Every structure is written in structure tokens, then in C-alpha cells.
Amino acid sequence: MNYNMNGMEKTLAELHQMLKTAEVNIPSKTAPVLMIKEGHVKKPNTKKRGNQGKGKGKGKLVANKKPQKDAKCFHCNEIGHWKRNCAKYLAELKQAKASGGESSGTKKD
């Protein structure tokens, strides 16, 4: 069977060979297009998890809980502890809570 392509008479085999030659000669500068199923992309879980399935902090990365020797408290500016462990700060929080004041350490205007 012959096909008329812009005035050229070609057979099916010749057309197929032309297509294969053209595909080989096309430069592929772009990445291939990937198909996405169901309209969303499922990202791989690459997070490292500590304490899996163990109550509080479940699935969270746990930071170093002990302060370094040169750690400085942001509340009293003393070296050796953090604000969350500061005796002065904790006493102020306890006193503010007992008096019905604010416990966040900030004042509202």
C-alpha cells in the first residue's frame, strides 16, 4: 500500500524507516516527562526518627539535652545552665503562676 506524503509516494515500510531515523537524530536535551498517578506526588520518607512509638516526643528528633560547660543562660546570664534549667527563672514562673500572673515571661500591653 502506498501513501502520498506531500507528493512523495512511500510505502509503509519506508515511512516506518523514516520515522525511526528521525527519532534517532532528534537530540534529547530535556529530561523525560514522568507520569504522576492520582494527581499528587508521594515524597519518600527520608527523615531519621528517634524514639519511634515511645510516648512523648514521638517521631521527633531529640537534641542534646545536657548543656555544654560554656552554655550561657539567657535569663540570668550565668554560665553553666540554660534558661529552662535556671533556678531564678523557674522560681519566677512558680511565683507568677501562684499569683495568677503570666507564665510566659512576656508582658502584654
Question: What was the pLDDT predicted at 64?
Answer: 63
Question: What was the pLDDT predicted at 9?
Answer: 81
| pTM of the entire predicted model | 0.34
Domain ranges for the chain:
68-101
Sign, Cα dihedral of 60, 66, 68, 70: positive
Nearest-angstrom CA–CA distance, 45 and 71: 34
Q: What is the mean pLDDT of each run of 10 residues along the chain (109 residues)?
A: 71 88 79 68 70 56 70 90 91 91 54
What's the pLDDT tens digit per position in 15-36? 899 889 888 887 767 777 777 6
Nearest-angstrom CA–CA distance, 54 and 66: 21
Question: What was the pLDDT predicted at 102?
Answer: 60
